[in-house]
Amino acid sequence: MTVRGSVAWQALDAHLQKDILPYSLKQLFNGSGAQRFNDLSMEAMGLLLDLSKQKMTPKTLSLLIKMAEQQGLRQATQMLYSGGEINRSELRPALHTALRDSSSEKYSDVHVDGQNVKQLVDKNLLDMERIASKIQKGNWLGYSGQPITTVINIGVGGSDIGPNMVCHALAEFRLETKFPLDVMFVSSMDGSQLAEMLQHLDQGSTLFIIASKTFTTIDTLANAETARAWLRKKIPSDSLIGQHHLVGCSAFPERMAKWGIPSENQISLWDWVGGRYSLWSGIGLPIAIKLGMANFKLLLKGANAMDDHFQNASLHENLPVMLALTGIWNINFLGLKAHTILPYDGRLKLLPNYLSQLEMESNGKSVTNAGEKVDFDTSPVIWGDVGANAQHAFFQLLHQGTPAYYADFIVPIKRTASSEYTKATRTQLEYQQSLNLANCVAQSRVLMLGDDVLSWDQSIVTSPDRLYPGNHASSTLMFDELTPESLGRLIALYEHKVFVQAVVWDINPFDQWGVELGKQIAKTTLNAIQKRQLGDADAEDATFDASTEGLLNHMFKHHH
């Protein structure tokens, strides 16, 4: 039996019919007055989570908590933190929390495959620091003696999205170096990003980080080969290339070595760190290079504070638990299958994409841990953009379209403009932040109230084609300022949210078998394309469906 057949689920169903469905969001507000905000918002570690614009009451949360308890949330959390084999399909732990706990002794007794987790993490931080500071000080020299001034991270998925998102979000915190130091990211399999970049770069001052947990991902290895071909044009030997221009991060040192990355330029990773949970590991090296190790450690510190909160706060006051249960309520009871992430901050532009991997790759599952087919929805479709930009793009659908969705508004309150700007520029930037805050709050209000907002503000004139149905649920997450620490907290908040949902649904959030078949079939397809290019189509061992055959033929016709 899945969670759907449980007593807790049935209690929630009954509550939905009786206490929620008969009412609109506006009515839920009218019924509880100002108290509703107090009842349905909570604050911890400088983060305010307002759930009052969700179609729920305090009773909903209590019933959801009962369901989480029934599903063994506390025991599962304990298992996660203590290094139990929580990734059941791959029989391994998921110990990303250990990566951000270097200052305590919590993990000093945790061992995986006979290795002490704390010692591995501590050594890794030292390796990262050694490499990052050598580059930052201008002491990492290219083959010809020039300092490295451009670092390109080649990776994909978790080996790209997380570090890229953080580097973009915290660019204002970049370490001051005596010379301009660029950190860039390349992921696309087609080589287009890399090809564009290489045109403007010089081999002597460029360093590539080859970031791949498995070191078998074809996207990354293909880009890495292209980078090496470019390096070979100027640099006389592969050993000089490896020594001066390559750094690797992987769980397979022998694969890095075979590929040409010398051991002193390697950073370790381990099975027990999932790709999409790996920005806190050596995969975060680009962050440490761009922002400095001190800021990287502040990011870890922020995440660690959220880890402690998640482990210790009561379920009622637990931010990840509340965010997760709200999602479950929306997905499973209110039938909302799409979730939009709206950061009101240009620096968080890459956050929606990051969260779409985190959530959809983790919880985009349809069998339980026992192998039973689920009879309810799991991860919704996640998409988003900078909120204020999205207002001029997909908000039309949010306000007047037909699909059912819910939204997360995420906004830092303050922005500290650099003191290097003139007073006038700073004043203007402050005004822009007020404008941004006003839009954030106004939009969630209009989504909730629709046309009814007019009765509160008679100056707005309406016409029939301007109907706003409203009654759209959203959460708002507000925090003081975007800093390495607050970003660390925010990311860990969502990581744990995903975990809580997986526990309630009894699915495994730490594997991703769904992406494997496509990779395998792409190999056979590549083989067919290459044979056709050589005029050897008869030697193909694969047969294709009519559509694939048609597409391959069309490609081939236009390739020549």
Q: Which residues are catalytic?
A: 361, 392, 519
Q: Can you point out the beta strands (E) in 45-199?
A: 47-50, 111-112, 115-116, 150-154, 182-186
- Interface with ligand F6P includes 212 (CB under 6 A)? yes
Q: Report helix angle 319-328 to 58-70, nearest 10.
A: 100
Burial level of 407, CB count in 10 A (0-12/13-18/19+)?
Answer: buried
Note whether 476 and 50 are within 8 A (CB). yes
474-481 and 405-414 strand pairing: parallel
- For ligand F6P, give the closer residue by CB, 205 or 212: 212
Q: Which of residues 274-293 bind ligand F6P (CB under 6 A)?
A: 275-276
209, containing H or E segment: strand 206-211
- What is the x/- site pattern for ligand F6P, positions 128-167, by CB under 6 A? ----------------------------xxxx--------
- For ligand F6P, give the closer residue by CB, 283 or 528: 283
Shortest Å, Cβ 163 to ligand F6P: 11
Note whether 378 and 345 are within 8 A (CB). no
Shortest Å, Cβ 90 to ligand F6P: 12
Shortest Å, Cβ 229 to ligand F6P: 20
Shortest Å, Cβ 539 to ligand F6P: 29
Shortest Å, Cβ 87 to ligand F6P: 12
How far apart are the C-alpha atoms of 89 and 87, rounded to whole Å?
A: 6
Which of 351, 343, 350, 362 minimizes the C-alpha distance to 497?
362
Q: Residues 82, 214, 243, 369: which binds ligand F6P (CB under 6 A)?
A: 214
- Interface with ligand F6P includes 213 (CB under 6 A)? yes
Phi, psi torsion values for 481, nearest 5 degrees? -150, 150
- For ligand F6P, give the closer residue by CB, 164 or 212: 212
Q: Which of residues 8-47 bind ligand F6P (CB under 6 A)?
A: none
DSSP code, position 514: G
The sheet with strand 474-481 has its strands ordered as 41-44, 47-50, 474-481, 405-414, 338-343, 381-384
- What is the x/- site pattern for ligand F6P, positions 43-82, by CB under 6 A? ----------------------------------------
Structure tokens at 247: 């750094």
- For ligand F6P, give the closer residue by CB, 106 or 213: 213
124, containing H or E segment: helix 117-136
Size of the site for ligand F6P (CB under 6 A): 14
Which stretch, 49-57, 98-106, 209-217, 226-234, contacts ligand F6P (CB under 6 A)? Answer: 209-217
For binding to ligand F6P (CB under 6 A), which residues are involved?
Answer: 156-159, 212-214, 217, 220, 275-276, 361, 512, 515
